[in-house]
């Protein structure tokens, strides 16, 4: 008899076509660990693959196991693994880089061209019983964190990477975050944890702003709607001016916005962000939305804005995420709004896609358990 239980997995076969499939248990290399997956959060990208079958150049053309925001318990370790043992609860960093290319060796492994990333075609994700990964990408959870916290380390690390690492955010600075979805909220939480003087949340949905205010924002802003015949740029410029006067922040110096994070991907948010960030400030794009956007580039030039992209997470981001939560500086619990059994994964995806459950409750993060 096999030492393994059924490796039932949740597989995307094609657009709008998901099934449960029995998958072989992965063979373990000497430096790898096999994890029994316990909790998996659903991400916008998982839903995007389900609905569109692709994200940019990543195209689902063969069946792929979904899921990449996971935690679990170590089931087995490779012969050379010393720091982890079966039974240890871990958060999974779901991207294994090559370790030898220029990106990897220069400390930017998130840019590795050979990246094997869970649920990014052609690689399988974590929504099965067993997932294997290099041992150094399985982070032991401190005793005061549970497995749901562990699953949330993935989206939190996206926030940590964009705010702390790419954005270089420091204590007593001011941040504005466009988009109060899961990633935007986590960016706000990171800024608050790092000692932000002011955390400004911008969204077009009042209820999301209400949550942001209760969670990590000091100020919230609901932009006016575009006027009839107003161009995107005109609208963004007007919104920026209205924000500055209503929230009372200057264009430069003390009290000005040091860092703008766009977690929305919307053209007008990106433009407005460029208009509101201070002279010499930093703008970080983390939201994936419009692929091409008109940007007021002269403003970037004259204000010497550091205009940067933030992709997934890199060295140090998982440890900082775990550290901030373990120290009680970030509370992930309020973000987990929905929970589903493994057999209800289709409903979990459907609920995330609709943005609310049957009872009308808004989804921030839905988590799937198991398989049991």
- Binding stretches for Zn ion (CB under 5 A): 43, 97-98, 101, 104, 112
Q: What are phi and psi of 188, to 5 degrees?
A: -65, -45
Q: In this complex, which beta carbon is closest to Zn ion, that of residue 43 or of residue 320?
A: 43
Q: Is the dihedral of CA 355, 358, 360, 361 positive or negative?
A: negative
> What is the residue whose two structure tokens read 């899921």?
67
Taking only Cα atoms into account, the Rg of the chain, rounded to an integer number of angstroms, comes to 21
Q: In this complex, which beta carbon is closest to Zn ion, that of residue 25 or of residue 96?
A: 96
> What is the residue whose two structure tokens read 């974590």?
126
Residue 326 CB, nearest approach to Zn ion (Å): 21
Q: In this complex, which beta carbon is closest to Zn ion, that of residue 155 or of residue 371?
A: 155
Which residues lie closer than 8 Å to 57 by C-beta, 6 or more apart? none
Q: In this complex, which beta carbon is closest to Zn ion, that of residue 30 or of residue 113?
A: 113
Residue 104 CB, nearest approach to Zn ion (Å): 3
Which residues lie closer than 8 Å to 4 by C-beta, 6 or more apart? 25, 129, 130
Instruction: Determine the Cα–Cα distance for residues 295 and 288; give it in Å rounded to an integer.
Output: 16
Residue 64 CB, nearest approach to Zn ion (Å): 15
Residue 181 CB, nearest approach to Zn ion (Å): 11
Q: What count of other Cβ atoms lies within 10 Å of the Cβ of residue 168?
A: 14
Structure tokens at 147: 């497995």
Residue 119 CB, nearest approach to Zn ion (Å): 9
Q: In this complex, which beta carbon is closest to Zn ion, that of residue 38 or of residue 303?
A: 38
């Amino acid at each position: 008899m096999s030492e393994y239980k059924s490796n039932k997995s949740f597989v995307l076969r094609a657009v709008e076509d998901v099934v449960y499939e029995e998958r072989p248990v992965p063979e373990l290399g000497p430096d790898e660990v096999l994890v029994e997956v316990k909790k998996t959060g659903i991400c916008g990208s998982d839903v995007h693959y389900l609905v569109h079958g692709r994200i940019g150049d990543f195209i689902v053309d063969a069946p792929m196991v979904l899921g990449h925001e996971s935690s679990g318990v170590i089931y087995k370790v490779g012969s050379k693994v010393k720091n982890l043992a079966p039974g240890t609860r871990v958060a999974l960093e779901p991207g294994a880089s090559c370790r030898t290319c220029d990106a990897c060796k220069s400390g930017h492994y998130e840019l590795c061209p050979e990246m094997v990333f869970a649920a990014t075609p052609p690689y399988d994700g974590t929504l099965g019983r067993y997932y294997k990964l290099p041992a150094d990408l399985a982070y032991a959870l401190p005793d005061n964190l549970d497995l749901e916290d562990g699953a949330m380390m993935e989206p939190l690390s996206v926030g940590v990477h964009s705010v702390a690492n790419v954005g270089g955010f420091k204590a007593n600075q001011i941040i504005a975050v466009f988009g109060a979805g899961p990633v935007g909220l986590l960016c706000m939480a990171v800024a608050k944890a790092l000692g932000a003087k002011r955390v400004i949340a911008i969204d077009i949905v009042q209820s999301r702003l209400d949550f942001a205010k209760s969670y990590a924002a000091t100020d919230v802003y609901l932009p006016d709607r575009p006027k009839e015949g107003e161009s995107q740029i005109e609208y963004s410029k007007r919104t920026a001016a209205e924000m500055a006067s209503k929230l009372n922040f200057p264009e430069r110096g003390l009290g000005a916005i040091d860092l703008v994070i766009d977690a929305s991907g919307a053209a007008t948010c990106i433009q407005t962000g460029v208009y509101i960030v201070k002279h010499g400030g930093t703008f970080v794009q983390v939201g994936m939305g419009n692929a091409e956007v008109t940007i007021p580039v002269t403003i970037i030039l004259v204000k010497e804005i550091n205009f940067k992209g933030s992709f997934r997470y890199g060295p140090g981001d998982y440890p900082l995420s775990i550290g901030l939560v373990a120290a009680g500086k970030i509370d992930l619990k309020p973000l987990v709004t929905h929970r589903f059994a493994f057999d209800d994964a289709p409903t979990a995806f459907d609920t995330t896609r609709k943005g609310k459950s049957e009872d009308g409750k808004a989804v921030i993060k839905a988590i799937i358990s198991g398989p049991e």
